[in-house]
Amino acid sequence: MLYRLRPKGALTWCDLPGYVVCRADDQPPPDWERLSWVPAETREFSTDLLRIAFRYGARSGSGIILDARHTEDLGRADELRCDGIAAALARAERCDGVDGDLEWERTERAARQAEADLAELLAVPPQPHLVAHWCRLGGRYPD
């Protein structure tokens, strides 16, 4: 799956394998604008998403194309913590004997790992040509 980020916070997606973004440099770039893009409903445009796109994306006529695989850790820590809280509340309502502290420690460990994975993605320097392209289109650089 691909995401297309455009200035003004527009996020669309296309059901196409992400490996098409990683084409050889000697091949002409695809015309990304000709693909069937639809509004993204399961992910919102965010500063961290844009930061990832600056590092791993490709230029399109109206924005930046990003392989969705690079976004897997984005928001994952929050999801894990929310799921952990919901599970703890459900256990409390059932009054079962599961050790809530042990479950919470596992959840927190997984959340910290997701944060570390995201930090590793963002440790890569942004591609200057993508930042320049974004700014030419009227976008603002968040870093």
Structure confidence at residue 38 (pLDDT): 93
The alpha carbon of 117 is separated from its chain's Cα centroid by a whole number of angstroms, namely 12
Q: In the prediction, which pLDDT does 126 show? A: 95
Beta bridge pairs of residue 10: 6
Q: What is the pLDDT of residue 79?
A: 65
| Predicted local distance difference test score (pLDDT) of residue 12 | 94
Sketch the domain layout of the chain as residue ranges: 2-72+125-136, 76-112
Residue 24 is predicted with a pLDDT of 42
* DSSP conformation class of 118: H
pLDDT along the chain (143 residues), means of 10: 90 78 59 89 87 93 92 68 67 64 78 83 92 95 81
